[in-house]
A and B are shown apart, each in its own frame.
Chain A
Amino acid sequence: MDVRVEGLVKRYGRVAALDGVSMAFASGALTAILGPSGCGKTTLLRSLAGFVMVDRGRILFGAEEVTAVSPQARGTAMVFQHYALWPHMTVFDNVAYGLRLRKVPDAELRSRVEKVLDLVEIGRVTGVGERRPAELSGGQQQRVALARALVVEPRVLLLDEPLSNLDAKVRQRLRAEVRRLQKAVGITAVYVTHDQEEALAIADAVVLMNAGRVVQAGSPQEIYSHPTTAFAADFLGVSNQLAGVAEADRLSVGAQRLPYGGPVRGRATLIFRAADASVSAGEGGASPGHALLRGVLEERLFLGSVYRHYVRVEGETLMVDGAEPVEPGPVTVQVPVAKLQVYAA
């Protein structure tokens, strides 16, 4: 079931949560909607579920327009950030709820619930069906919530920051799990998150949103390596921003000159990732294919896998990661020209 939205607008007072959003969610694919809080991603998801009625625009599930259809009749299944399991029901009753609404006969209901609990790998936890959600860990609760959503074989699976309440280790495991399940079931899934790493890791396609609009959409690789705006580049990774002026053959950052061959002219924003740059002590020259910035190393933090260096360049503080520590003092920062993104400011 492919899902399309066309020109969605939703206003809350004077704020536009959705400001003309059009996009397509491919059938059987997992699409991540990524963006900072307040960008409209949750409103978009809730409008797909039918909890939010849009002011303008159309929502299509396949050929069927569902814009005005009630949440009950949309055939979506949602996984909530805070699990939203019913605390007064057992795990079994939670999962069986949707099937009971559909008047599934008892024997079939039992086998389907058991099967889906196995699928989310919680069926083997002893007596899990008879337990209350509160007796399970956060990760287990979210598995149950996934089971509750999947057991009714929904047309579209909606996930609203499903992992953001879990601690880092469980989050990483469950992330792979969600991906495995979605592929195994072959369901169209929309996954909302503010975590860029999660979006890149889990999705077939990433949609980046900001201020109620779609900023960029594409495969994770595309979005990561070719961000089309300063916002996208900044949001997708630990990034540095420098203000500069772009000319036909060079970039000026303060008093420093960098090589440039791109299309931007005039005031520009330069963006590069902390991991793409390198830093070395002293006043060495630029390596071939690299832009060179001189600055002063002020601070250095050990992050475990890398050292993060804070370098003062033309009044801005840049972050540069490196495997080897560099001592504070005058340094040069090298950025591969290919990794230096330049946008009109």
Chain B
Amino acid sequence: MTTSVGPRADVFVRTTLRMAGAVLVAFVIFAPLSSLVIWSFTRRWSWPHPFPQELGLFYWRKVLEGDLLRALESGFLIAVIVTAATLVLTVPLAYLLARYPVPGKAVILLVFLLPHAFPQLPVFVNATTLLYRVNLAASLSGVVLIHMVGALVYAVWTMTAVFRSIPESLEEAAWNLGASRLKTFRTVALPLATPGLIASTLLVFLYSLDEFTGTLLVGSPFVLTLPVYMYRTSVGYELQVASIAALILMLPGLALLVVLERYLKSEYLSMFGRL
């Protein structure tokens, strides 16, 4: 008898544990999110009431009429400029690093990593004073520059790996048939690198959209992006507004991550941890 009961009990215990684990994970992930959702629809919710006393779209309406859209717009504009500028700079650089014996290659790659190697705050504070001196602080161009400092490492490192993952013989075959280096790059390397470049582009775009510290320090008081907006409203105890901003800020991230999942191959991250 025990032999037939034993495994069944075992299965029962395992199923229970697994479900408990799933519930726990779901709680950890979704509880803060659900509180965001609840807060965004709350009109009044004061201690000690366990549930909001008054629900409604009041704050959504307020937010959508106000500054949030402006923050969203300038945040997207900055992200688009940062992404475009990063692409223009890094695609040729990454190709050179991947294909040619560039002297000091490891040093170049490390330089891009440096801003991330130090604590962010001092780096950005120093950058801010520098930007004030050249009259770029509190301006869109200043924020674009500070975003690029952080974004370049993702772009350079992933794109170098992308180009390295393309066998050289594919390009040699084109040269061999008479195609110039430029033509080969356009017809062979670039199309083959496109999925990786898309992945890399999305990383940069998301980074810029979500960047907070540098934007706050360099951009204040004139440049408003969604993370900065969220910060301002939440320190002003407008929890509803901050929740709505957080929810809206999540949407492009979620959408792009779904796309990213299609294009990102693990080998594109292979440069990290290897020089």
Which A residues have a C-beta under 8 Å from some C-beta of B?
A: 49, 51, 70-73, 76-78, 80-82, 84-88, 97-98, 101-102, 148, 152
Contact = CB atoms under 8 A, between A and B. Distances in A.
A234 B65 CA distance: 87
A78 B191 contact: no
Contacts of B191: 88
Given A49-B176, A101-B178, 6 more contacts: A72-B175, A72-B176, A72-B179, A77-B176, A101-B177, A152-B177
Contacts of A81: 169
B269 interface: no
A70 B176 CA distance: 9
Contact of A71 (B169, B176, B192): B176
Contacts of B180: 72
B177 A98 contact: yes
Contacts, number: 56
Given A72-B179, A101-B179, A84 B192 contact: no
B173 to A, nearest CB: 4
Interface string B153-179: 000000000000001011011111111
A97 B169 contact: no
A55 to B, nearest CB: 16
The 3 closest A-B pairs by CB, nearest first: A98-B177, A84-B169, A84-B173
27 contacts: A49-B172, A49-B176, A71-B175, A72-B175, A72-B178, A73-B178, A76-B176, A77-B176, A78-B176, A80-B169, A80-B172, A81-B169, A82-B167, A84-B167, A85-B173, A86-B188, A87-B192, A88-B191, A97-B174, A97-B177, A97-B187, A98-B178, A101-B177, A101-B179, A101-B183, A152-B177, A152-B178
Contact of B170 (A77, A78, A86, A152): A86
A77 B176 CA distance: 6
Contact of B177 (A51, A77, A80): A77
Contacts of A84: 167, 169-170, 172-173
